[in-house]
Amino acid sequence: MTVTPLSYRIFRYTLIVVCGLIMVAPLVYMVSRSLMSPSEVQAFPAPLLPRVPQFSNYAAAFAYLSPQVIANSFVFAIGVVALQLVLSLPAAFALAKIPFRYTGALMAVLILPVFIPANFTLIPLFIEVYRLGWLNTYAGLIVPMAAQVTFAVLLFRQFFAGLPDGLIEAARIDGASWFRVFVSITLPLARPVLATYVSVSFLTAWNMYIWPQVIATDPSLQVINVALAPLAGGQYSQVSPAIGLAGAVIALVPVLIVFLVFQRWYVRGVVGTGVE
């Protein structure tokens, strides 16, 4: 049976639409339930749409989370991403373009942490943070997570290694230092891979739960996932499930905005670095 270009195109777009609807259905249902009244959201079976949208649920969710919790989440996520970029970009450039001995040994040391489960390092990290006096501090929250740069170094190194050596050599012949080459030549070319990493790393940091819960026991340092955890655990005696769902939607918005902002560069970065 011969497949015509038109029928193939119809099949492809139909498949894309069906997969998209399947993926977006839970999100739409969550938003719908976040606008329901307490009686509607607890009904079984729950209605698909609220009779009268309760936008007051979002005001109550914002008050429950508090501006301090949301600000802590931004400080934590942005701090982790920024420090990881500061640490990983120069290291990746050096490993890719600056010739020196023991490059292979350094790469092996960098790759080794990938094979160690995160749960194995939780207790040693906690002990180190405790000895440094960083419990219930932003430094204790951010620095240990920002130091986990293995993926970033490998990603950026792969991109820098793909840049033409002639470009670097021409700048060096003209008298540019390695720092000038890094800042003025390679970084502007790295915008796609930077967008890729920023979007993925921000999502990872924003969604962290275990580490912020262990290190920041002070309520003034809670992040949004820790604040929402009691609602996910079924503690609805004082807070309606709809308010909890509204809080989950609020927690989703920053990640969605970051992805939409970096979407064009994200796609180019994935294609350019070979990440699947």
Q: Does domain 57-273 have CATH number 1.10.3720.10?
A: yes
How high is the pLDDT of residue 274? 43
Residue located via tokens 């990493």: 197
Q: What angle do CA 24, 254, 75 make, to 5 degrees?
A: 150
How high is the pLDDT of residue 4? 62
How high is the pLDDT of residue 84? 94
The pTM of this model reads 0.83
**pLDDT below 50 — which residues of the chain?**
1, 236, 272-276
Distance of CA 143 to the CA centre of its chain: 16
How high is the pLDDT of residue 265? 66
Burial label, 112 (beta-carbon count in 10 A; 0-12, 13-18, 19+): exposed
Q: How many other C-beta atoms can be found within 10 angstroms of the C-beta atom of residue 153?
A: 24
